[in-house]
């Protein structure tokens, strides 16, 4: 085991050599363990983690030990939505300094491959992404390492929890960019989970004239209405086809196959469809509608160059991330955080506070 860092933290106190971390070793096998504090390498900073959002991918890894092509084949620290304060810096760090409150962008691309050179670093094949097997540990821990280029200072008016949730907000911002949401657009968002709710707020911020949100959870639909939806549709009570709403843009955030096909059938001619939610490996689509209406359809994978926009939206008050947080847990209760959505229908976003 690598020894922890030596030296002092930003407050002048000594840095510990070990820390608590929620370590997963297999499906539903997660325990808080004492592990070495990671040592910052060149251009890396060590962050004392203050808040971490839980994500659907964390839940998949926890419950099934896998997600898509990735599987947990050794000890792994989950959590990729963190914020905190820098406490130490490695060699060559010039852009960041100990004492800064930051939101961590959890992926570090190689910077030299074709996708990186074209600005699409989210598609980098050599990405080191938090909480991904074989890539990097995550942030359900008291400390985490990050590259100085991918930690973003946050102002005092942005809470630690909101700073952590800039990560899912970036997914919403990226989806709106991919869909080219513009002033006057009518937007349909299927799925009122955390991603659907940040996509809703992003679409509003991008100038959408109408944003309709569909789901089957009354609590989440009520929150969508509170956060600015023009209308909400409970598709467990009334089919989407009966709504009469014909959007220019569909942001599909549910990942539920039948919902995808139903929603595509609502999109207007020359409309844009962005698939955001991660469901099964395959989904059926109404090909005749796609062709006859000349619909554009694309997927999304994470984000690129979104943090400045996301931070600006939160700092200005245009997007409210604090309102999404419904449950808070200390590090010892990380398993409860990961299962809150299945235990409580009112759960929207559970946050882990590793210093508690």
pLDDT in tens, 17-59: 999 999 999 999 999 999 999 999 999 999 999 999 999 999 9
Same domain, 157 and 182: no
Q: Which of 132, 153, 169 is nearest to 84 (CA)?
A: 153
Check whether residue 51 and residue 84 sit in a common domain: yes
Regarding whether 146 and 110 lie in a shared domain, the answer is yes
* pLDDT at residue 43, as a whole number: 98
**Residue 315 located in a structural domain:** no
Residue 25: left (phi > 0), alpha (psi -120 to 50), or beta? alpha
Task: Give the total number of structural domains in the chain.
Answer: 2
Instruction: Summarize pLDDT for 207-248 with one digit per residue, the tens.
Output: 999 999 999 999 999 999 999 999 999 999 999 999 999 999
Q: Is residue 250 part of a domain?
A: yes
Answer yes or no: do 84 and 116 share one domain.
Answer: yes
| Domain residue limits at 260 | 171-299
Position 310 in a domain: no
DSSP 3-state of 234: strand
């Amino acid at each position: 085991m690598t020894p922890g860092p030596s030296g002092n933290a930003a407050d002048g106190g000594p840095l510990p050599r070990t820390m608590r971390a929620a370590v997963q070793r297999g499906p539903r096998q997660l325990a808080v363990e004492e592990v070495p504090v990671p040592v910052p390498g060149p251009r890396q900073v060590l962050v004392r983690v203050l808040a971490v959002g839980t994500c659907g991918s964390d839940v998949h890894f926890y419950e099934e030990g896998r997600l898509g092509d990735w599987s947990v084949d050794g000890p792994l620290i989950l959590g990729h939505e963190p914020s905190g304060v820098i406490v130490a810096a490695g060699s060559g760090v010039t852009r960041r300094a100990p004492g800064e409150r930051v939101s961590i962008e959890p992926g570090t691309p190689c910077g030299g491959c074709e996708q990186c050179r074209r600005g699409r670093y989210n598609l980098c094949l050599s990405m080191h992404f938090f909480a991904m097997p074989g890539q990097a540990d995550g942030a359900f821990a008291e400390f985490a390492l990050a590259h100085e280029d991918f930690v973003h200072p946050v102002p005092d008016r942005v809470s630690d929890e909101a700073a952590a949730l800039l990560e899912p907000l970036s997914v919403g911002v990226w989806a709106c960019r991919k869909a080219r949401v513009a002033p006057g657009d009518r937007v349909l968002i299927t799925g009122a989970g955390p991603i659907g709710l940040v996509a809703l707020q992003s679409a509003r911020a991008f100038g959408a004239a109408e944003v309709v949100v569909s789901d089957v959870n009354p609590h989440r639909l009520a929150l969508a209405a509170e956060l600015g939806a023009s209308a909400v549709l409970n598709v467990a009570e009334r089919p989407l086809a009966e709504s009469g709403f014909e959007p220019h843009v569909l942001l599909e955030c549910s990942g539920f196959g039948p919902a995808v096909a139903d929603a595509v059938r609502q999109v207007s001619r020359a409309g844009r469809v962005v698939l955001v939610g991660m469901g099964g490996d395959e989904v059926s689509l109404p090909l005749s509608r796609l062709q006859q209406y000349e619909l554009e359809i694309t997927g999304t994978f994470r984000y690129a160059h979104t943090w400045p926009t996301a931070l600006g939206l939160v700092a200005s008050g245009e997007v409210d991330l604090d309102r999404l947080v419904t449950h808070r847990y200390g590090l010892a209760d990380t398993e409860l955080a990961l299962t809150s959505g299945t235990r409580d229908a009112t759960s929207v976003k559970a946050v882990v506070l590793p210093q508690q």
